A = this chain, B = another copy of it.
Amino acid sequence: MANEILKYLSKYVNITEDIEKAINESVYIKNFTKGTILLKEGDFSNDCYFILKGCIRSFYLKDGDEKTSEFYTENQVVLPNEYGQRIPSECFIECVEDTIVCIGNKELETLAFQKYPQLEKIHHVIADMMVVNYQKTFTEFKMSSPEQRYLWLLKNRADLMQRAPQYQIASYLGIKPETLSRIRKRIVKK
């Protein structure tokens, strides 16, 4: 099952035997049921996740509302903002569905990078890709109206509409649930 990670990585870098070993030594697999809170505001975050199956979201409590900042699904990496630092988390991380993840933690990660320096290459490629992805997504978001952002979601992450409740998706789009409901109505008419 952990070789899903290897399959994922092999799209970007060449997987050697050592790397395979490194991954297997550094992560373990765990199941969580829908609704499980993986990280609470104020807690220290020492784990990161690679999703094998299921859906996870991160959200903040602000003005009495939950604001979903990100949804993560199969083959995505959940990297808490304060991962491995000794800083209390500002957000919650929760399973939106029953979810199977590979868990990595800061200590094992550090050991692995020491023992297998070739891992740096992988980190390099993946991190570059994540930076570019964030830049692109952020830009797209800023340039778009709420309606355009919803259409973007339909086009690029249509599955989320089935997987997560609408009020969570609304805050993910930066709007209120009522507004998302009305945008959907408006679009059906067109």
Contacts and interface: CB of A to CB of B under 8 A. Distances in A.
Interface of A: 60, 62, 67, 69-70, 79, 81, 91, 113, 117, 120-121, 123-124, 127-128, 130-132, 134-139, 141-143, 171-174
B134 A134 contact: yes
Nearest to A69: B139
Given A79-B131, A130-B131, A69 B143 contact: yes
Contacts of A67: 139, 142-143
A138 B137 contact: yes
Contact of A134 (B62, B123, B131, B172): B131
A60 B141 CA distance: 13
Contacts of A123: 120, 124, 127
Contacts of A60: 139, 143
B124 A81 contact: no
9 contacts: A67-B143, A70-B139, A81-B136, A91-B139, A120-B124, A127-B128, A131-B131, A134-B135, A142-B171
